[in-house]
Structure 1
Amino acid sequence: MEKGASSKSGAVQYQAITGPDEEDKIFKSVSRDFFDMIVIDECHRGSAADDSAWREILEYFDNAVQLGLTATPKETKYVSSSTYFGEPVYTYSLKQGIEDGFLAPYKVVRIDIDKDIEGWTPPPGMTDDLGQAIEQREYNQKDMDRILVLNQRTKLVARRIMKYLNATDPFSKTIVFCEDVDHAERMRVALVNAAGQLALDNPKYIMRITGDSVEGKAELDNFIDPESKFPVIATTSELLATGVDTKTCKLIVLDKTIASMSSFKQIIGRGTRIDEENNKWFFTIMDFKKATELFRDPDFDGEAVVIYEPGDDDDPVPPDPVEDDPEPDDVEEPPGVYKVRVSGVDVNIIAERVEYIGPDGKLIMASYKDFSRKQIQKEFTSLDDFLNRWNSAAKKQALIDELEEHGIVLDNLATEIGKDYGDFDLICHIAWGQPALTRKERANKVKKRNYFTKYGEQARAVLTGLLDKYADEGIATLESAKVLRLDPFKTIGTPVEIINTIFGGKEKFESAIQELEQELFKKEESA
């Protein structure tokens, strides 16, 4: 028997069997040996505190095997994961998860803003937007959006986010982590303005999802649902940092000062999910606040270690979590906190650099094209070797997955070279200098040949549709049976009807796909 702290799979919730009064503690109405095993997810939270209501339950059922699960063990003056649960019996690093294909690799776009890096000192006698005198001192990156609000900075960040999305996919699920709720709302407004027509056409394209926003929280399920297109961009402070399964999130933006390693791990974890059905294999981190310096900390992706967080010493023991409560920091700034808000101060990006995770799990600062060329040439001895393996592969995606294990994410290359080029042309062009054709150019060449004449009318319609899908989306879509459930195929028949009736069975259908791929990637066209 397995019970835990979550009810997502029908398990018993802590809250359901206890309360502040003795009569609420219904867990005492059953035998101490009622459970054989208790699984505690996120065990670094309430369960780790000595005076937690949850600890009382665990101690009552101390005859059961108790298994604590956490990605971020915690050791503070008030909360200790190891004191109660002991040393970890099994650990699994992010690097290992990426190598095994369970977690998504990532790239980091680090962006420096002049007023953050160089600092900003107001001219003598300058007042803020409310006419209040501004303290004469130098404001730096840690002050931005906590003490000092430069409206032009917010707009600059929003424009840079939209520039990236428009250059890749403007419908990539995106989380923007801000300093607080006030910052999250200002960022939402700035993003709406930067998105322009996209936001005008779709009012829920950008939403603020924070603990105090009833409207935003109501859209949380839609944001994390792979089948729901909107919202696309969520601005938040802490609410989306933990416990939210955002499988299709492809962009995480950090405009938030993050000193806590456990918080950083939780935030990065929002992007590490892989969603094969929706072609989500990697994600991007855009960092405006140097938060990703924590990647260089040896504790980031080593063995699971206890993280001591000094700031927690000054904090009271937090209340036991209630399911619908916002995260502790995800609330409006307390009364009396005055932010200096200034319009009209010119703000500029002074540096950008892109880093990629390499096969050793460390970030690579060198040119990604140069890195990819070396890795591809290590994997394939020559262009002919690559062509032979590509053409003989029953599924091209398997070869692409193999390259990803060596740190080569072809979508990253497409961002640099051009998103209209397919995986085949990116590899041949980067590694061996071959002229590249776009996916559309390759598809059109196949359409002009007499290749289709041996098929019946309906089969030709299916193959033509698959070529169009390849031109729009790439090889992964061509090789996915899921594509037959989409337009234009669903007007021809069900996937079963297409495979069995039109093509004469699964084996013949797969053979037709392989032959179509051979036509797409003929050797003479790659030279």
Structure 2
Amino acid sequence: LQSKDSVLKFPGWMILYNAPKNGRNGQHLDSGKFKIGSILSFISLNVLDKQTPPPPYYNEASLIKELEKFGIGRPSTYAPIMSTIQDRGYVQKQEGKLKATDVGKVVTRLLNDSFKQIMDVNFTAGIEESLDGIANGEKERASVIKDFYVPSEYERAVNIPDQIEILSKKVIEILDKTNQYGKTIIFCVDMAHAQAVKDKLNELKSSEEYASRVVSEDKDDLTRFRDKERVMPVVATTVDLLSTGVDIPHLENIIFMRPIASRVLFKQIIGRGSRLFEGKGFFRIIDFTNATRLIDEWDIPTEKPEPPELPEEPIAPYDKLVMGIVVDNKMESPITGAIVKAKLGRWEKLGKTDENGVFKLFGLPSNDKISISIEHAEYKKLNKKLKPHTTENETPYEFRLKAWKSAPKKITIKGIVVTIDEEVEVEFDGIKLSYAEYRKYSKDKISQTIHSSDELRVIWLDPEKRERFIADLEAMKVNITLIKSIENLEDIDSFDVVAHIAFDAPLMTREDRVKHFMRHNAKDIDRYGKEIGEAIREIMEKYKNSGEENLSAQAFLLPNMNAKKEAIQAKYPEGLYGFIHTLKQKVYSFAG
């Protein structure tokens, strides 16, 4: 038990206020009544039922404070963060509180499942710190980008001879049709991949000089490739040496055999081809890895540019100004940190909007009109020609910026129309659903068909049952291929996608399944001979990189698999069918 007592030492303000005294009947408690060790009489026991209230919802101010605590965002980005999460429907403001929507919860879960590193607050704070370091001159931009972009294990696994040969033949075919001596750079996954591509090109062209691998140590090879007077080498294979700091104006072709995730790295690479050279009107991108998805819409010209106007010259005296407020065109909220530029010919002056979206540019020339441009990373650039103000008492201009938004795309897959915009909409049989609603619809339909992962596994191991199961789902407008595409689950087996949707089973990549298979069956792989062991390893590699269709007899249609097929039919106890069935049983034995 605990007893508390207080004694008034000095009345202070209570003399004037005539405040009631502590204790009962207006009397102060006598502190002498209670001493340590005193024996107290039990009078009564009152039980109070109290519950710990849940943490309060964030409002904009408390959310910004939380971001500051973790080192995420900067003063110039807090306002765009608040507007973005509301514009995209991730949260709704209700009575001043920010409450997560169903869309926000689904997007958060998908991001956490698919991009654990990027969603980690420490990772994001570290990136912010690195960007500050670049701005302060304490870090090099190239090294920060290199640390951020590390090729995945899949990217490092593309060094497959068959793939290298097919792509190398295609490269030679394209060059022979365009300009067989046009200087070309091929960006590869790693040095071993670059060496293999170089060797295959030289083998196909019967020349040891046609292609050259260029790395930091090969200064002579780089010099020969850059020399516009030399015909050979035509092709340079590299990893990232040529992405920055190398000028080859006569370069005609850039080829991607390396997956690219960083938009910055992509633009640095294609920057190699944009150098001007006499007689060069364009350069060509040959893309085997869908790297061109990183091209921004504003990088593609939509119409011919207008002839340049003769530059205006500023007129003295420089005693004018321009005042304005910059707001979001839709939300009408102020835009902080927008760059404002006043320009006349070669003369220009820069400013920036403050926390209220307001700017003032002083010391402007006395021309009738001045060009004003406003830029912000989250918005489309705005250009206007305005009459400058003469005094601060005049009405400021209002500038409304439109947020970037890609044009909605529509695709149709087996009777399902998918609209891809800032949010994904799915439409079929006259019903229009948000993607979150479609995912729940899919879960309900799958759960009506099967009731456990074990039941799904039995169906999946039988080709006829599996095909009928998928057809039944598609008849109910549940398309697993569509879900994989929208959620970027292309490296996940369809079995795991179905189990994840229906039973919340953890997602496993095909690579995870291959690792588990190899680890638990290492002693049995070569049990029936070396050729069968090699067949198992090759099928696992194809399954990991290309999908579950390789866990079937289709895998033996390739010419290099004929000898292995014959060995399996001759030595494996149950022939080819038994071999495939056993392989699938072991691959899908792990539940995740």
> What is the TM-score of this pair, normalised by structure 1?
0.34
> What is the TM-score of this pair, normalised by structure 2?
0.31
User: Which structure: larger Rg?
Assistant: 2
Work out which structure has the larger RCO, using CA pairs closer than 8 Å and 6 or more positions apart in sequence: 1
